Amino acid sequence: MAEYPIHPYIIHCLEPLLANAAAPVVLALDGRCGSGKTTMAAALAEQFPGSIVLHTDDFYLPPADRVPGWERMPCANMDLARLRDEVLAPARAGKPVLYRAYSCREGAYLPVQQLAAQPLVILEGSYSHHPLLAPYEDFRVFLTCSDAEQTRRLQAREGDRYPDFAARWVPLEEAYFTQHNIEDAADFVMDTTTD
């Protein structure tokens, strides 16, 4: 994926939030798959030392815990309540976090990591602006890109898995955006399509 700069407006908003905050600041990056959420989170963590990055992808539900028909319901594959209770709420309160990621590839929870409290908490990934999480967030950025650019990036990322990925995950994600008015409710929308 092409690199792109952090939009100056994001820095303009984060700096005073961090300077005046009595508690850690939570920045949430949601948006279309392939729009650069993970890349942006890494760039922001480098720009703002003293931050931790949390990934919604670490909070999938194990298949045995998913409801029947989850494949047709936005967010039904996610354990957003666990993300909120175990990670986001303590991090927002300035407490250490016991981070227990679930790996779909391994079909198991990974060893628990203890994350120290930091002034900036960056939550990145699809569904990070979900109403269940929104009360813990201070600044919400929605990343998007053109359909053609999304296709190009996802084909490069997913390879042979692209057709299945596009048929399953993109419609679920778009349904979530529509259902919860995610893009319009964001504090800032950034288009990462490159010329």
pLDDT digits (tens, 9 = 90+) for 148-181: 999 999 999 999 999 999 999 999 999 999 999 9
Query: 74 CB contacts (<8 Å, ≥6 apart)?
Result: 127, 172, 173, 175, 176, 179
Domains annotated for the chain, with CATH where assigned, are 8-190 (3.40.50.300)
If pLDDT is split at 50, 70 and 90, which confidence band does 2 have? very low
Query: 67 CB contacts (<8 Å, ≥6 apart)?
Result: 73, 76
Of 18-22, 27-31, 58-62, the least confident: 18-22
- Rounded Cα gap, residues 74 and 142, in angstroms: 17
The residue behind tokens 């996610």 is 78
